Structure formats: C-alpha cells, structure tokens
Amino acid sequence: MNIGIVGLGLIGGSLGLDLRALGHRVLGVSRKSQTCDRARERGVVDAASTSPTLLQTADVVFICTPLGVMEATVRELIPHLSATTILTDVGSVKGWVVQTIEPLWANFVGGHPMAGNTESGIEAAQYSLFVGAPYVLTPTAATPSASVQVVEELVRPLQTKIYHCTPEDHDRAVAWISHLPVMISASLMQACLSEADPAVLTLAKALASSGFRDTSRVGGGNPELGMMMAQYNQTALLRSLASYRSHLDQIITLIEQDNWSGLKQRLAHNQQTRPEFLQ
Ligand code: NAP
C-alpha cells in the first residue's frame, strides 16, 4: 500500500520505519528539508518532500504533526489528495481533532497510538515503538466503516492492541491516565524547586533516586506536547485535576488529624487496584 506520513518526528518517523519494514511504500512530508533528508538516510521513508504534492498517490495518510498545526496541515493537504484517500491522525486528543478534521475530509478516521517517550524529532524515530501498546480508533457515526477497517489492518501488524471508543470517552480516559499525570508530575517538580533553603535543595537533588525518576518522568518531557494536551483537552483535564485536588485535600486532612489507619486504608486500596491499570 502507498502510505503517506505528514510530520516526520518521533511518532511519524517510527510509523514510517515499521510500515516500510512490513513492505509498504512510505511517502513522507515534513516542514524542514533537513528532516526529509534525514528521514531518507535513516530509511524512515521511500521518498520525502516538503511539498504535499508527493501524497497524490497515497492510499492512506497519517497526520503526525503537533496538534496545534493539524487543521492547517489538513487544509493544505486536501487539494493534493485523491478522492479515495483515507486520512487518519495520531493526535493525543481526539474530540477536538475529530470535530475539526471530519468536516474537512469525510474519509477520516481519528486515531491515537498510545506509545512514546520523552524524545522528539526525526532522530527519535525507532523501530517497534508501538509493540504491545494500545492503538485507539475513534470512529463516529459518519466514519466509513471500510476505512476504519483499512486503518485497523495497517496498524494491527505493528503488534498494537486496537481499541474503539468515542472521541469524548477517549479524551476523558486519557485525561486520567496520561494528561493528569503530566500535570501532577510537573507540579511535583515545581514544588521541589520551591524549597527555600539552597542546601536542602542541593541535598534533595543529590538524594533523588528511582522513585523520583519515576514520578517526575512524565512532567519532565516535551513541554509543547504537555501544553497541547491541556489546551486541546481542557475540559476533561480540568475535571480530572479538580478530582485530584479533592483527593489530595482528603489526604492532607488525614495526615493533619493523625488518622493513620484512614491513610493506611487508602494506600492499601491503591496497592490492590494499581495492577488493574498496568495489565
Ligand atoms: P515530534 O517528534 O515533535 O514530531 C512532529 C513533527 O512534525 C516534527 O518532527 C516536525 O517536523 C513536524 N512539525 C512540527 N511543527 C510543524 C509545523 N508547524 N508544521 C508542519 N510540521 C511541523 O512530535 P511527536 O511526539 O511525534 O508528536 C506528533 C503527534 O503525535 C502529536 O499530535 C502528538 O499529540 C501525537 N502523539 C505523541 C506521543 C508522544 O509521546 N510523543 C504519543 C502519541 C501521540 P520538522 O522536523 O520537519 O519540522
């Protein structure tokens, strides 16, 4: 199949590597000509260009740019696509993306591969990034079911676990397990940095070990990605943050009241239920 990828960064580049390895012809479009050159050198694409005219023969096009430029990217792309081309995207937010892109191109399937790391750009592209990861598809009543099937058959061989849900349910679920953790982790870093005694702060930095590495990781990643999660999933994220604040307040109250059994009960419940999120 002829596959187009727009935005040759971590996600777009990694998709290119795997889809080529599976025998597809991959055509890449990116903003910078150096990125196109590196994508060819690294074997991410068969051909690359800064111009969307390259995608005239694409059967399926993955939009892999940052969320903030997706609408402009699709508008620029549309005049160059064949009428039968299936568009899909990899954005971390689905409600806003689907509402924006679906009216522009009816043959559109919202998607979100739930894999990544703290790196970005073409050099971060890697093989097998999506192995074992959920790949969420968010068709609406208007999405052609044959196109959903085509996208599903393309991404299933990457050894992903396919899920279908509405864009709204996707955004509420990822607010809990992806976007809220980024904001909590970012606040943790800010709180630590607010330590007023420089000697204590230096000591804390020296003593930080695996626990701090785990809890600060998602808040110390790509700032643009974190900002866009908040900007484009604002409602669901604020709802999760409000609930988190309430639970933090409850923990503060338990500690203030020396309610050690109450605190232990909560922590025991967490210990019991955490594996349900990490199957
Ligand atoms: P990335 O590594 O920064 O790659 C995005 C690429 O898009 C860049 O390499 C850049 O190519 C191109 N681009 C940037 N700004 C552009 C602009 N203004 N116009 C046109 N092209 C532009 O980002 P990513 O992590 O792959 O994220 C891409 C998408 O995947 C986002 O929508 C994000 O929500 C989604 N996603 C990310 C993750 C994650 O963990 N990172 C996971 C799942 C989904 P040039 O070098 O040519 O400028």
* CATH number of the domain encompassing residue 89: 3.40.50.720
- Same domain assignment for residues 72 and 26: yes
Q: Is the dihedral of CA 6, 8, 12, 13 positive or negative?
A: positive
**133 and 148 share one domain:** yes
Q: Give CA separation, 221 vs 119, 181, 217, 226, in Å.
A: 7, 12, 7, 8
* Residues 245 and 197 occupy one common structural domain: yes
Indicate if 47 and 160 belong to the same structural domain: yes
Pair 145, 232 in one domain: no
Tell me how far the alpha carbon of residue 225 lies from the centroid of ligand 1, in angstroms: 9
Nearest 5°: the CA angle 63, 118, 33 is: 45
| Ligand 1 site-directed mutation target among 6, 8, 10, most atoms within 8 Å of CB | 10
What confidence score (pLDDT) does residue 5 get?
98
Domain of residue 22 covers 2-165
Report the nearest atom of ligand 1 relative to the CA of 12.
26
Task: Return the SS3 of 88.
Answer: strand
Q: Please check whether residues 126 and 237 belong to one and the same domain.
A: no
Whether 14 is in the pocket of ligand 1, judged by its Cβ within 6 Å, is no
Task: Give yes or no: residues 77 and 198 share one domain.
Answer: no
pLDDT mean for each 10 residues of the chain (279 residues): 98 98 98 98 98 97 97 97 97 97 97 91 98 98 98 98 98 97 96 97 97 92 90 98 98 98 97 93
Q: What is the pTM of this model?
A: 0.94
Domain count for the chain: 2
Kindly give the number of the ligand 1 atom that is closest to the alpha carbon of 93: 34
226 and 146 housed in the same domain: no
Q: Based on the domain organization, do 185 and 125 belong to the same domain?
A: no
Eight-state DSSP code of residue 176: I
Instruction: Tell me if 111 CB under 6 Å of ligand 1.
Output: no
Our answer on whether the CB atom of 161 is closer than 6 Å to any ligand 1 atom is no
Residues 75 and 174 in one domain: no
Q: Which of 92, 101, 224, 229 to mutate to test the pocket of ligand 1 (most atoms within 8 A of CB)?
A: 92
Of 95, 101, 110, 192, whose CA–CA distance to 151 is shortest?
A: 110
**Domain termination residue (choose one: 113, 140, 165):** 165
DSSP H helices, the chain, are 10-21, 33-41, 70-77, 95-101, 145-155, 167-174, 180-193, 198-207, 210-216, 223-232, 234-256, 260-277
